[in-house]
């Protein structure tokens, strides 16, 4: 359900692209994070079960083509100056290639690397953590859990993004609301929760992509009305995607490195707006991975979000839900 009715100026964004601002205008600050990623080499990628609307057992990815697309994506990110750490894929975990959901990587307020491991909603994906946790621990990250083996709240890191004054976390289809308080306490940050209701945008990374300190790709149709309103209020300059654009192009499932947006596809009006804002759009075809329900953002996991730089530190943590009065428990 979209709440565009409450945001008439942003509704117009769906139909027209205003004239570009003068080039001399002050550009918003680039994202400081997004220069260090984890990715999983797709040596065992296949559609073995169906846990989202994109997965069909009779539509299997081509292994050679999938590897070629993945290697091109990694080469593109490295060519932009990003570091990409590669994990081996478990043979029993065909979805492990969607590295975004291995866990929430961050640098804590003391400068220590850390990772909150995901606790997958579906048992078919829980094997992934058994290899991911030791990999990140060996790399020097302090690892922690919100739950494991079906006990405790579910958390899937594709629902969590740093933006503005908070860690923005979608909950509903995959991540559970109870996980938000755990994240707030562990990271010592404000968590702004958004309720996801669209079955095809089951992770927030299919509907939300931060671009810089003021701008983001946003698909309000993924959320219930109060959550859509809250997200549009949070982003000063949203580039609103229609439901059809988000689902057919995976445009929100993109990665930003500096002022370059690496996308699987880009609707013409979206490209026009991005280029007017001073971004370079680079298209990388990853269509084989769309058969499993993920694209470029799902295939990568940013490890460099930093508390105190990208997320204001909030002692003890804080959770804000749509419609709640901030500062009131």
Residue 289 contacts residue 71 (beta carbons within 8 Å)? no
Per the prediction, the chain carries an average pLDDT of: 93
- Give residue 169's Cα distance to chain centre: 9
The Cβ of residue 37 has, within 10 Å, a number of other Cβ atoms equal to: 24
Residue 20 lies inside a defined structural domain of this protein: no
Contact 181, 318 (CB under 8 A): no
Domain for residue 6, yes or no? no
138 assigned to some structural domain:
yes
Residue 116 carries which DSSP code? Answer: E
Establish if 16 belongs to a structural domain: no
Helix, strand, coil proportions of the chain in percent (round to 5)? 30, 25, 45
Domain-located, residue 274: yes
> Within a 13 Å sphere around the CA of 14, how many CA atoms are in the beta-carbon half?
18
Task: List the CATH number of the domain containing 120.
Answer: 3.75.10.10
* Residue 218 Cα distances to 110, 213, 230, 291, angstroms: 32, 14, 12, 23
Asked whether residue 54 is assigned to any structural domain, the reply reads: no
Three-class SS state of 99: helix
247-287 tens-digit pLDDT: 999 999 999 999 999 999 999 999 999 999 999 999 999 99
Q: Is residue 200 part of a domain?
A: yes
Distance in angstroms (rounded) separating the CA atoms of residues 264 and 64: 18
Q: Could you tell me if 151 and 280 are in contact, meaning their C-beta atoms sit under 8 angstroms apart?
A: no
Q: Are 279 and 261 in contact (CB under 8 A)?
A: yes
Domain housing 63: 28-47+59-320
Give residues with Cβ within 8 angstroms of 22, minimum separation 6. none
What band does 323 get if pLDDT is binned at 50, 70 and 90? confident
pLDDT at 24: 39
What CA dihedral angle connects 235, 268, 34 and 106, to 10 degrees?
50
Yes or no: say if 54 and 264 are a contact pair by the CB < 8 Å rule: no
Residue 52 Cα to chain centre, angstroms:
17
The model carries a pTM of 0.92
Q: What is the pLDDT of residues 102-146, one digit of tens each?
A: 999 999 999 999 999 999 999 999 999 999 999 999 999 999 999
How far is the C-alpha of 116 from the C-alpha of 257, rounded, in Å? 23
Structural contact between residues 312 and 165, judged by C-beta atoms closer than 8 angstroms:
yes
In which band, very low, low, confident or very high, does the pLDDT at 17 lie, cut at 50, 70 and 90?
very low
End-to-end CA distance of the chain: 28
Percent of the chain with pLDDT over 70: 91
Does residue 69 carry a pLDDT above 60?
Answer: yes
Element (H, E) at 192: strand 190-195
Q: How many domains does the chain have?
A: 1
242: left (phi over 0), alpha (psi -120 to 50) or beta: beta
What would the pLDDT profile of 71-107 be if each residue is shown by its tens digit?
A: 999 999 999 999 999 999 999 999 999 999 999 999 9
Residue 14 domain flag? no
């Amino acid at each position: 359900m979209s709440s565009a009715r409450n945001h008439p100026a942003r509704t117009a964004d769906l139909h027209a692209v205003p004239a570009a601002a003068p080039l001399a205008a002050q550009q918003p600050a680039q994202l400081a994070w997004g220069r260090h990623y984890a990715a999983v080499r797709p040596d065992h990628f296949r559609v073995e079960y169906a846990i989202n609307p994109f997965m069909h057992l009779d539509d299997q990815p081509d292994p050679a083509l999938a590897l070629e697309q993945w290697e091109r994506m990694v080469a593109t990110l490295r060519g932009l100056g990003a570091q990409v750490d590669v994990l081996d894929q478990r043979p029993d975990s065909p979805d492990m290639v969607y590295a975004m959901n291995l866990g929430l990587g961050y640098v804590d307020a003391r400068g220590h690397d850390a990772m909150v491991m995901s606790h997958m909603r579906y048992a078919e994906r829980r094997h992934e953590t058994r290899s991911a946790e030791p990999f990140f621990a060996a790399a020097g990250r302090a690892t922690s859990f919100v739950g494991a083996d079906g006990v405790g709240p579910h958390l899937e890191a594709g629902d969590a993004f740093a933006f503005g004054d908070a860690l923005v976390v979608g909950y509903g289809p995959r991540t559970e609301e109870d996980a938000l308080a755990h994240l707030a306490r562990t990271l010592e940050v404000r968590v702004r929760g958004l309720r996801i209701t669209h079955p095809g945008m089951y992770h927030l990374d299919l509907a939300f992509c931060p671009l810089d300190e003021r701008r983001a790709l946003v698909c309000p149709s993924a959320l219930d009305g109060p959550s859509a309103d809250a997200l549009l209020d949070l982003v000063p300059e949203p580039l609103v995607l229609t439901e059809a654009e988000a689902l057919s192009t995976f445009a929100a499932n993109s990665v930003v490195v500096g002022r370059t947006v690496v996308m699987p596809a880009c609707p013409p009006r979206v490209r026009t707006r991005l280029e007017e804002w001073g971004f370079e759009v680079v298209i990388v075809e990853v269509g084989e991975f769309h058969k499993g329900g993920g694209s470029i953002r799902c295939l990568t996991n940013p490890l460099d979000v930093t508390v105190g730089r990208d997320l204001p530190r909030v002692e003890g943590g804080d959770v804000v839900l749509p419609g709640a009065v901030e500062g009131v428990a």
